[in-house]
Amino acid sequence: MKTPLVELRGIRKRFGPVVALDGADFELRAGEIHGLLGENGAGKTTLMNVLAGLYRADAGEVYLDGRPVQILEPRDAVRVGVGMVHQHFELVGHFSALENVVLGREGGGWLRRHRLRQEVEALMERVGLPVPLDRPVRELPVGVQQKVEILKALYRGARVLVLDEPTTLLTPQEVDSLFASLRTLVAAGVSVVFITHKLAEVLRTCDRITVMRRGRRVVTVSREEADARQLVEWMVGASPPPAAVREPAQPGSPVLELEGVRVVDPRGVPVLEDVTLAVRSGELVGVAGVSGNGQQALAGVVAGSVRPAAGVVRVGGRPVRRGGVADRMREGVLSIPEDRLRDGVLPRMSVAENIVLGRHRLHFPGVRYRPEVVRGLALRAIEQYRIVCPGPDAAAGQLSGGNLQKLIAARVFEGARERGARLLVAHNPTRGLDVPSTEFLHAQLLDFCRHGGGVLLISEDLDELMKLSDRITVLYRGRVVAEFPRVRFDRYAIGRAMAGGAA
Amino acid sequence: MSWELLLDPSLFRLAVAMSVPLVLASAGEVLMERSGLLNVAIEGMVTLGAAAAFLAAFQTGSTALGLLAGALAGALVGSVLAHYAVAWRQEQVTVGLTLYVLCVGLASLLYRVVVGVRLTPPRVETLPPLALPVLSQVPVLGDVLFAQHGLVYAAAGTLVALHLFLFRTSLGLRLRAAGENPVAADTVGVDVFRLRRGAALAGGALVGLAGAALPFTLTGTFTEGIAGGRGWIALMLVIFGRWTPTGAAAGALLFAYVEALQFKLAMVSRAVPPQFLQMLPYAFAIAVLVRASRGARAPEALGRPYHREARA
Amino acid sequence: MTAGAAARGRGQGVWPYAGALVVALAVLGGLVAALGGDAAGALAGLFRASLGSAAGLGQTLNKTTPLLLGSLAVLLGLRAGVFNIGVDGQIYAGAVAATGVAFLLAGLPRGFAVPAVLLAGMAGGAVLGAIPGLLRARWGVSEIFVTVMLNFIAVFLVEYLSTGPWNDPTAGEAITRAIPPGATLPWLLPQAGAHAGVLLALGTALGVWALLYRTVFGYELRAAGDNPSAASLGGVPVARTVALALGASGALAGLAGAVEVSGFHYRLILGLSPGYGMMAILIAVLSRRHPLGAVAVSFGFAALVVGTDSLQRSVGLPSSAVFVVQAAVLLVLLAVEGLRRNPA
């Protein structure tokens, strides 16, 4: 058998207590399109980041053309011909495509635009990736931007191209275009690794498919051998569903209704399309889906920080006021933000001062602000939520990610209680938390429902959703593609919907 | 106020001459901001450049040495700012303001120490007009544009050079990338830190030169307030000019025109107290900024220190 | 931060201040030595002039007032996340308003006139602070530039008034008539020549502290300055809060102007603020944006100013040296902090 072009053996990688790669293996043959399939957290991106020099493996070897190579930095990867296109592009938005492709390799001195253009045009022709070279890339559709990123890698001599979740933000037409381009690329001598969680895509384009789960390779099969059902089983595991924790709910009147909601990003690309869902009081509705399918926008629409381009949002039966988050809070909707550092914490202020954010006007309706009261609230929260910190006066920015999440949860839950809030929208609330903290948070969520509140739980953790939800709605590419009542929870079926398969 | 007054060629001539410090300072600032550095010490650098230039010329009798001294002073301060911002990742505005105070104090201090206290302030030679051979014979325009002192032509040349550098050279492309998206630049091997330092050095030199221009083109003396806010105005001109040297220069001409107009009006009009006329350029500057702020787009990474994420 | 954290912060923070003092003295000594003078003698003279005599102490207290009020103004803005570089202009605006009201209320007893004058000063400064505040809230215009431009405009206004309608021909070129005695501040230490303004400034420092740490508005202001995005999601009206902060900041600086007129000069003069605005920025940063720290640093800076003034007479060191010293102190501290956080 021919030696594989790229081989990764026994790669291990931890981030603190979290094991991202647990002895993972991977092989890429020359001239193939190889799909790397798995759920969130399976380790696919991490493994490829090791190959691309963004992470250094704790153990394991990398071979190119059968010879071992040391890839410690992105520069090394580029040198051996590995190029990676990430989910979030690294383009200079206001530069043209031509400038982005040649940046760093222009050849010094005067910009010989004519010659550079000729080189890039020749490249575009050879690999079948035509893009307009002169407009600022931020004006280009995402699919075209992606092609610019690919050209960038190829211009630097990449023989191995790794694409990380390339179809996340593409329209169906752009997806078709990309797949066609991949074929041409392979014909031009490039080998491709295609990281994705979407079944339909691997079955459509990849020559071979490797499934990863929990940081290891589960299996590698060729496309002919692959079967959708099998793949899903390998992806999510055939484990039995977790024991039901939730008593059947007696849902009351709707606290949240979304009808036909559409959200577009600043470029006009829809990120949520025709979303209709409802949460009743006492109900916990889970929203499943792999990250990047519209969850951020959904959370924003409900919390009041994003205005829908179309559709209706109703809280407690009445359409919401035009205002933003503060108004929505007054109407009884609170949210646990996903990006805790950017949106959730006041880093230089103390833990205590963070605890009271959003509730401060409730506790201090007048002019006076009492630190003793705040401190008391903080001490209680620290104990109840088991927030590990030097004390209530410590700067909140020093807390670890998990404790920060607990701080935010404490703030929101207590605030919800104080306000008599009706709806809580939580986006990945237990990410990075250890088991006891996760259990505690779950208990808080259920408690909120027991007291008549409604919860919209957006999560990438299917286990969590299956444990807590009365219903699970699946988001795929900004649309609701499936809904499962608790009695019909089926891990495989939900997983398939999340991966874009028909329900 | 009549049209003749507003369109008087001598007014334009004066405006062109008065625009030089603004053109040079804003060019230097454009260079720095394009690389991602916000330089709020600019007013201080102008003042220190003026002092250095004056004192050098005063001691040696050479205008050329004076101009060189001014540029060097600016380059030096720029490097200090860059070091604090790039190597030590201190907040650029804080360091800038501190350097501003330092430069203003230092300029005054040096002047007093070298010149001492005198009854009449000492003077240096101002630059004579340098009429360009054929071009200055052109009616109207010739007098306005081509019979100016040497620094005017130097400023024009600098503009062209800077424009070419930023938009036609490889280094200029990388510098702009460093200011827009240092992460993207870094991943393709662009040395963001070195580019920022270089921009601070060269940009600082231009700002210092702008300051040096002041004693040699205005009254031949140095006073503490000689900069008169021109450094700050240059900051605004960068925004107005959408971070291009030519745009900023256009704004500089506009502003210098208003300044020159105010000059003339003060001489002509008795009705309005002179101080209110003097307020005009500054109020005008605020109005320009408000207008320019709508839709102005700064280099994306302006003012933010670049933290290269530690490789896991 | 809470009082507890502040106290703890101060405890650790004594060493930087001590270090700052040492740097200041070293730079000053160095400058004197560079001019061929006796450094040690000069430093001794500096202490004597600023703190060693009743008159000197009085002057130091007098100078502490505008410095403290000005730095509180800058500090308030910094806490809200904005840079108020217009303290000088706001001082002048406050001084103009104070002088005008003083003339207006001629004949009224002190009990009425003085508070009115001081309030007028605050109002004048507040107007100048509100302008950049509103421009920022409405159109996102950077307050840095607007405040600086207003500085120049305010100075021209003072120049006009002091050479024109309010000018006192017997007093000098750019000096106004004296304000009526009913509008002057009472003495604190008459033998030392210190007016009561410093008490006002101290009270204001406490007031700013209370505002920041004991009111809801202060909490929201600090939250907006720390992370506007998170604050906004926590229901804080960020744009409005910041605009109000700039207005309040201006009011504090305006108060300084009123005090200078009403307590020190008794007239509106062109050189009312010899760079207090610039020093205020340095003080605010050095005191780590804490009002009570600003008290100590302002006093130190005031002593430095008075001392270097005296050195001008004795050693011939120009008064502008004080700016060099103050800026050098901050630069050294920033360098030390930078080195600690970014080990090469």
Question: CA-nearest residue of chain B to A16?
Answer: B312
- pLDDT at residue C8 tops 50: no
Confidence of residue B7 (pLDDT cuts 50, 70, 90): confident
The pLDDT value given to residue C14: 67
Sequence-separated (6 or more) residues with CB below 8 Å from residue B48: B73, B74, B77, B103, B104, B106, B107, B208, B211
Confidence of residue A342 (pLDDT cuts 50, 70, 90): confident
Average pLDDT of the residues in B92-103: 95
CB of A318 closer than 8 Å to CB of A422: no
Confidence of residue A249 (pLDDT cuts 50, 70, 90): low
> Domains plus CATH for chain A?
6-236 (3.40.50.300), 249-332+422-503 (3.40.50.300), 344-420 (no CATH)
Which range, of A4-18, B68-82, B224-238, averages the lowest pLDDT? A4-18
The pLDDT value given to residue B307: 61
Going by the DSSP 8-state scheme, the letter that residue B109 receives in this structure is H
Q: Identify residue C315 by its one-letter amino acid code.
A: V
Q: What is the 3-state secondary structure (H, E, C) of A392-413?
A: CCCEHHHCCHHHHHHHHHHHHH
CB contact under 8 A, B108 and C31: no
Question: CA-nearest residue of chain C to A352?
Answer: C2
The pLDDT value given to residue A451: 87
Which residues in chain C are contacts of A325 at CB distance < 8 A?
Answer: 232-233, 235
CB contact under 8 A, A367 and C217: yes
pLDDT digits 0-9 by tens, B239-275: 999 999 999 999 999 999 998 888 888 777 777 888 8
Which residues in chain C are contacts of B106 at CB distance < 8 A?
Answer: 320, 323-324
Rounded distance, CA A171 to CA A143, Å?
8
CB contact under 8 A, B88 and C339: yes
Percent of chain B topping pLDDT 90: 54
CB contact under 8 A, C327 and B99: yes
Exposure b/e, A92-121, CB count within 10 A at least 16 = b? bbbbbbbbbbbbbbbeeeebbbeebeebbe
Place of tokens 């787009």: B297
Rounded distance, CA B266 to CA C160, Å?
14
- pLDDT at residue C103 tops 50: yes
CB contact under 8 A, B173 and A109: no
pLDDT digits 0-9 by tens, C321-341: 899 999 999 999 999 888 888
Instruction: Point out the residue among C83, C164, C323 whose CB comes nearest to the CB of B105.
Output: C323
- pLDDT at residue A244 tops 70: no
- pLDDT at residue A48 tops 60: yes
Contacts 24+ apart (CB under 8 A), C287-291: C287/C71, C287/C75, C288/C9, C288/C13, C289/C75, C289/C78, C289/C79, C290/C6, C290/C9, C290/C10, C290/C75, C291/C72, C291/C75, C291/C205, C291/C206, C291/C208, C291/C209, C291/C212
Q: Take residue C169 and report the two structure tokens written for it.
A: 């021909």
Give the count of domains, chain C.
1
Whether residue C344 is contained in a domain is answered as no
Q: What is the mean pLDDT of chain A?
A: 87
Rounded distance, CA B213 to CA B218, Å?
8
The pLDDT value given to residue B65: 92
Whether residue C342 is contained in a domain is answered as no
Instruction: Point out the residue among A350, A367, A370 whose CB comes nearest to the CB of C5.
Output: A350
Higher pLDDT pick, C314 / B311: C314
CB of A345 closer than 8 Å to CB of C227: yes
CB of B136 closer than 8 Å to CB of B146: yes
* CA torsion, ordered B258, B260, B263, B269, to nearest 10 deg: -70
Question: CA-nearest residue of chain B to A95?
Answer: B177
> How many Å lie between the alpha carbon of C321 and the closest alpha carbon of chain B?
6
- pLDDT at residue A268 tops 80: no
CB contact under 8 A, A368 and C8: no
CB of B92 closer than 8 Å to CB of B301: no
Distance separating the N- and C-terminal Cα atoms of chain C? 31
CB of C122 closer than 8 Å to CB of C255: yes
Average pLDDT of the residues in C177-198: 87
Average pLDDT of the residues in B20-43: 96
CB of B78 closer than 8 Å to CB of B213: no
Average pLDDT of the residues in A278-284: 91
Exposure b/e, C214-243, CB count within 10 A at least 16 = b? bbbebbbbbbbbbbbebbbbbbbbbbebbb
CB contact under 8 A, B93 and C135: no
Q: Identify residue A364 by its one-letter amino acid code.
A: F
Whether residue C343 is contained in a domain is answered as no
Q: What is the mean pLDDT of chain C?
A: 89
Q: Take residue B105 and report the two structure tokens written for it.
A: 């104090």
Higher pLDDT pick, B128 / C82: C82
CATH assignment at residue C186: 1.10.3470
Please state, in angstroms and as integers, the Cα–Cα distance from residue B214 to each residue in A53, B56, C118, following that order: 53, 14, 40
The pLDDT value given to residue C202: 96
Which range, of A242-256, B283-297, C42-56, averages the lowest pLDDT? A242-256
- pLDDT at residue C4 tops 50: no
- pLDDT at residue B100 tops 90: yes
pLDDT digits 0-9 by tens, C39-76: 888 888 888 888 888 888 999 999 999 999 999 999 99
CB contact under 8 A, C334 and B84: yes
Percent of chain C topping pLDDT 90: 56
| Dihedral sign for Cα atoms in the order C254, C256, C259, C261 | negative
CB contact B285 to C (< 8 Å):
yes
The pLDDT value given to residue B2: 66
Q: Identify residue B99 by its one-letter amino acid code.
A: L
The pLDDT value given to residue B310: 35
- pLDDT at residue A500 tops 80: no
Chains interfacing with B (3 or more CB pairs < 8 Å): A, C
Q: Which of B192, B194, B216, B207 is nearest to B77 (CA)?
A: B207
The pLDDT value given to residue C20: 81
Rounded distance, CA A236 to CA C66, Å?
69
CB contact under 8 A, C320 and B109: yes
Rounded distance, CA A77 to CA A166, Å?
20
Which residues in chain A are contacts of C226 at CB distance < 8 A?
Answer: 346-349
- pLDDT at residue B206 tops 90: yes
Domain enclosing residue C274, as ranges:
3-337
- pLDDT at residue B312 tops 70: no
Average pLDDT of the residues in C244-253: 97
Distance separating the N- and C-terminal Cα atoms of chain A? 40
Pairing of strands A318-319, A270-280: unpaired
The pLDDT value given to residue B31: 96
CB contact under 8 A, A103 and B311: no
Average pLDDT of the residues in A307-324: 85
CB contact under 8 A, B184 and A99: no
CATH of B3-118+131-293, one of 1.10.3470, 3.30.70, 2.40.128, 1.10.1220: 1.10.3470
C220 beta partners: none
Instruction: Point out the residue among A74, A105, A107 whose CB comes nearest to the CB of B187.
Output: A74
- pLDDT at residue A503 tops 80: no
Rounded distance, CA C60 to CA C315, Å?
20
Q: Take residue C182 and report the two structure tokens written for it.
A: 């009913």
The pLDDT value given to residue C9: 43
Sheet strands (E) in A51-207: 59-64, 67-68, 82-85, 160-164, 191-196
Which residues in chain A are contacts of B172 at CB distance < 8 A?
Answer: 111
pLDDT digits 0-9 by tens, C122-158: 999 999 999 999 999 888 888 999 999 999 999 999 9
| Dihedral sign for Cα atoms in the order C30, C32, C37, C39 | negative
Higher pLDDT pick, A228 / A118: A118
Which residue blocks in chain B are alpha helix, DSSP H? 3-6, 9-34, 42-60, 63-82, 92-115, 141-146, 150-168, 170-180, 182-187, 192-217, 230-240, 245-268, 274-293
Confidence of residue C3 (pLDDT cuts 50, 70, 90): very low
CB contact under 8 A, A347 and C226: yes
- pLDDT at residue B1 tops 70: no
- pLDDT at residue B54 tops 90: yes
CB contact B59 to C (< 8 Å):
no
Instruction: Point out the residue among A54, A103, A107 whose CB comes nearest to the CB of B188.
Output: A103
The pLDDT value given to residue C47: 85
Percent of chain A topping pLDDT 70: 96
Whether residue C70 is contained in a domain is answered as yes
Of the residues C71, C87, C92, C278, the best mutation for testing chain B's interface (the one with the most B CB atoms within 10 Å of its CB) is: C278
Confidence of residue B233 (pLDDT cuts 50, 70, 90): very high
pLDDT digits 0-9 by tens, A13-44: 988 777 889 999 999 999 999 999 987 778 88
Q: In a 3-state reduction of DSSP, which class is residue B273? A: coil
Exposure b/e, A302-324, CB count within 10 A at least 16 = b? bbbbbebeebebebbeeebeeeb
Whether residue C251 is contained in a domain is answered as yes
The pLDDT value given to residue A330: 85
Instruction: Note the ipTM here.
Output: 0.90
Confidence of residue C10 (pLDDT cuts 50, 70, 90): very low
Confidence of residue B309 (pLDDT cuts 50, 70, 90): very low
Confidence of residue A107 (pLDDT cuts 50, 70, 90): confident
pLDDT digits 0-9 by tens, B127-173: 877 777 777 777 777 777 777 888 888 999 999 999 999 999 999 99
Radius of gyration of chain A (CA): 25
Rounded distance, CA B54 to CA B60, Å?
10
CB contact under 8 A, A105 and B188: yes
Rounded distance, CA B228 to CA B259, Å?
11
- pLDDT at residue B311 tops 70: no
The pLDDT value given to residue A197: 79
The pLDDT value given to residue C222: 97
Confidence of residue C6 (pLDDT cuts 50, 70, 90): very low
Sequence-separated (6 or more) residues with CB below 8 Å from residue A31: A186, A189, A191
Exposure of B146 by Cβ count < 10 A (0-12 exposed, 13-18 middle, 19+ buried)? Answer: buried
Which residue blocks in chain C are alpha helix, DSSP H? 3-34, 39-47, 54-79, 87-104, 110-139, 143-163, 197-214, 216-226, 228-233, 238-259, 276-286, 291-314, 321-341
The pLDDT value given to residue B27: 97
Sequence-separated (6 or more) residues with CB below 8 Å from residue A311: A258, A259, A260, A261, A262, A274, A275
Q: In a 3-state reduction of DSSP, which class is residue B130? A: coil
Please state, in angstroms and as integers, the Cα–Cα distance from residue A408 to each residue in A385, A422, A444, A449, following that order: 10, 18, 13, 19
CB contact under 8 A, C341 and B273: no
State pTM to two decimals: 0.86
Q: How far is CA C178 from the centre of its chain?
A: 24
Instruction: Point out the residue among A73, A93, A103 whose CB comes nearest to the CB of B174.
Output: A103
Which residues in chain A are contacts of B173 at CB distance < 8 A?
Answer: 95, 99, 103, 106, 111
CB of C335 closer than 8 Å to CB of C342: no
